[in-house]
Structure 1
Amino acid sequence: MTRKIKDLSYQREKIDTPDDDFLNLDWIRKGHERLIVISHGLEGGSDRHYVTGMAKLFRDNGWDVLAWNNRSCNGEMNKQRILYHHAASYDLRTVVDHALEKYDYQEVCMVGFSLGGGQTLRYLGEESEFGLPDRVKKGMVISVPCSLPESVDTLGLKGNAVYEKRFLKKLKLKIAAKAAQYNDIDISGLDDVSTLEVFDEKYSAPLHGFKSRSEFYVYCNPFPYISKITRDIMILNAINDPLLIGNCYPYDLANEMPNLYLETPERGGHVGFAQAGEKFTYAERRTLEFFEGSTFRIIED
């Protein structure tokens, strides 16, 4: 059962992208000097419980909140031909640059879930190529497929059919809507697509300019960017996460990088980490602890 986060409201802002598209940003602004930027997972949005739970905890502890929605997510189809993917750090960069240009935040920290974690790792790891604002201090990624090609393979496992079915249903609706915008997108046979691998081969890869899904996955893989990160970064990946395997648990990098903190608890699932009798998840609490290194308060509804 999905938990309900009460007493939380956003203020929406629509911003333009450099390629004449738009992004929907959901704010909680209280005039604080610290900002947390939250990036959601595949086919998620700022309304997902794992985003709103994180937003509420940080709001209650002296942070402004910016939960952004990837192109086409959370109810509004974008204009351009492309949708979004694990490597869409260019949109995350647009979001952060906008926030820092508009408001005088002294500290910005980034948190990303699953796909949003991949985007966050890539954004932080592209510092040598695109630069990184000094006010961006730390990053936290949760249930992140650090090694995307390996993670994708787990979706074919029998126990993960529920994830694949849910993602595929939403993506099929989305590609049909995109075909209504661009009539050269061929959706004949869309109903017969039964796996994400086939969907990515037929739609995701070519839509974003790749020859094959394997080429697409290699490009979107955040793993090569982790070693390039200079800011403090924490990876929280549960051992029992059904979508993670192999280098999704980068122990060797954690041993080599003094700024990389890797936590791999036995339990937590995929974007779960619920604790019995607790209002906030372990992931939410751990993120706040990592970002500010102090105690925090829980405000009851």
Structure 2
Amino acid sequence: MQLNTILNCMPIVPSPYKAKGIFKNGHFATIYSAKLRPIPSLIQTRERLELSDGDFVDIDWSYNIAKNEATKKVAVLLHGLEGNAQRVYMKGQANVLIKNGWDVAGMNHRGCSGEENRLYLSYNSGRTEDLAELINHLLTHKNYEEITLIGFSLGGNVLLKYLGEQKEVPKQIKAGVAISTPLYLRGALEQLVKTENVVYSQTFINDLKKKYKRKMNQFPNAMNADELKKIQNLLDFDNLYTAKAHGFEDAYDYYEKSSSLQYLPNIKIPVLILNAENDSFLSSECYPYDIAENHKNIHLEVPKSGGHVGFHVSNNVYYSERRTLDFIEKISRDE
């Protein structure tokens, strides 16, 4: 099927992506793409954005190499849980964009850039305030006429929630792309604690416990070793840190209020949600066919394969990276 035909099959988009060989296995695609895919070479320049609450986020910039003149287009990239702007999927996407006329702002969530953030709170799946401040920074201090938002996993949930909770989205924001996104956080948690996902959940909890320990040194009155010992899984972490630090009653209150699924009907610009059918991180609620069928702006593509951020075609370019470019450039042309 030709790409222009696919792009016109809205809002539920038939996917041409077909994984080859062992990449049809979702777990292999996920693990290979996160741990074994060679990291693309990418020049990044860091900018520190001071936030209104006294904290900061670091933005890793990469610039358009397709033209000699400055571009008017920028893509904001948002990474997943305990990731950063140096992750292979962030650099892979950035490489495709800068070669096609875009600047890229890779946003590191608080505490994810290699330096601990200053405050007790950090980031979570529904915290959109930092993204809003970055967008305001782009609008007031940069000269961009077109902004697109691209998020992976947790970052996808953040951008969809941001777009859906705004009464008015800045006119410069033209499109969004959410890849391998847990739209329903409680369902995603219940998936991750299943036996088949123990490798992923254990990796996440090990990283989060290290983060808790580092922050405990900063905030000994709010965090302690006894609580650290109680953290055995992701639910424990969200109960003992995420919910408490960010003003939620408990983990389930956090999941309910932060899930982007409930905000999709309010989105006013075109977005692409690319979630693989064999993504073991995602529950059935993370495939919003009913919303997409009745919403002109929600474009849902569900390939049979791809795992979690694992849409392998070659080590150089993944299907998700090219698909993202095609989607946002079509929106740009149609403006």
TM-score normalised according to structure 1 size: 0.93
Q: CA deviation at 1:5?
A: 3.2
Tell me what 1:156 maps to. Answer: 193
Q: CA deviation at 1:278?
A: 5.7
Tell me what 2:133 maps to. Answer: 94
Q: Which amino acid aligns with 2:298?
A: L
Alignment partner for residue 268 of structure 1, among 292, 306, 309? 306
1:156-175 to structure 2, matched below 5 A, reads 156-175=193-212
Tell me the alpha carbon deviations over residues 94-147 of structure 1, each in whole angstroms, 9 at most, x when there is no partner.
11111121111111111000000000001111221xx32100000000000111
1:11 aligns with 2:50: no
8 A Cα contact 2:216 2:224, kept in partner: yes
1:234-249 to structure 2, matched below 5 A, reads 234-249=272-287
> Match of 1:257, SS?
coil
Tell me what 1:299 maps to. Answer: none
1:1-301 to structure 2, matched below 5 A, reads 1=32, 2-30=36-64, 31-128=70-167, 131-184=168-221, 185-275=223-313, 277=314, 279-293=316-330
Q: Which amino acid aligns with 1:232?
A: P
8 A Cα contact 2:159 2:176, kept in partner: yes
Tell me the alpha carbon deviations over residues 205-262 of structure 1, each in whole angstroms, 9 at most, x when there is no partner.
1121222111111121111111100000110000000011121000000001011110
| Structure 1 unmatched ranges of 5 or more | 295-301
Which has the higher mean CA deviation after the structures are superposed, 1-10 or 218-227?
1-10
1: distance between equivalents of 2:63 and 2:259?
A: 33
8 A Cα contact 2:40 2:88, kept in partner: no
Q: In 2 relative to 1, CA 29–158 (structure 1 residues): closer, same or farther, beyond 3 Å?
A: same
Q: Which amino acid aligns with 2:199?
A: V
2: distance between equivalents of 1:205 and 1:220?
A: 11
2: distance between equivalents of 1:33 and 1:4?
A: 30
> Match of 1:227, SS?
helix
Percent identity between matched residues is 37
Q: CA deviation at 1:15?
A: 1.1
2: distance between equivalents of 1:267 and 1:166?
A: 23
> Match of 1:165, SS?
helix
Q: Which amino acid aligns with 1:134?
A: K
> Match of 1:37, SS?
strand
Q: Which amino acid aligns with 1:111?
A: I
> Match of 2:266, SS?
coil
2: distance between equivalents of 1:189 and 1:291?
A: 45
2: distance between equivalents of 1:53 and 1:279?
A: 8
Moved over 6 A (4+): none
Tell me the alpha carbon deviations over residues 66-117 of structure 1, each in whole angstroms, 9 at most, x when there is no partner.
0000001131110011011011111011111111211111111110000000
Work out which structure has the larger RCO, using CA pairs closer than 8 Å and 6 or more positions apart in sequence.
2
Tell me what 2:25 maps to. Answer: none
Q: Which amino acid aligns with 2:325?
A: L
TM-score normalised according to structure 2 size: 0.84
Q: Which amino acid aligns with 1:57?
A: V
Q: CA RMSD in A?
A: 1.4
> Match of 1:154, SS?
helix
Q: CA deviation at 1:28?
A: 1.4
8 A Cα contact 2:230 2:236, kept in partner: no
